[in-house]
Amino acid sequence: MALRHGLHPNQLYAWRRDLRSIGVADRDQVSCGFVPVAVLKSAGTAAAGSAVGPIEIAVAGMIVRVAPGIEPGFLSAVLRAVKAA
């Protein structure tokens, strides 16, 4: 999965290790950037593994629609801006 999104799997392990080491030092002050995900099926849903249309991300009371192929860095910047608004 990581390679499919241009990320080496070792990077995921490094991030997890770093977060765990921070969590030990500042157990009450660490907030993780992960959020719960809900997958909703609709009548037009394609077969598993073939994303066809946009995805919707609910953040800070708003919905951000994301087209397939968006650059992850740009999406991250947009979500940070929405969260700050």
The residue type of 7 is: L
Q: What one-letter code names the amino acid at 63?
A: I
Decide if 63 contacts 56 (C-beta within 8 A).
yes
Are 34 and 25 in contact by the 8 Å Cβ rule? The answer is no
Distance of alpha carbon 26 from alpha carbon 20, whole angstroms: 10
Instruction: Supply the pLDDT for residue 44.
Output: 56
So where are the chain's domains? 1-31, 35-85
Q: What is the pLDDT of residue 76?
A: 87
**Which residues in the chain land under pLDDT 70?**
22-52
pTM for the predicted model, two decimal places: 0.42
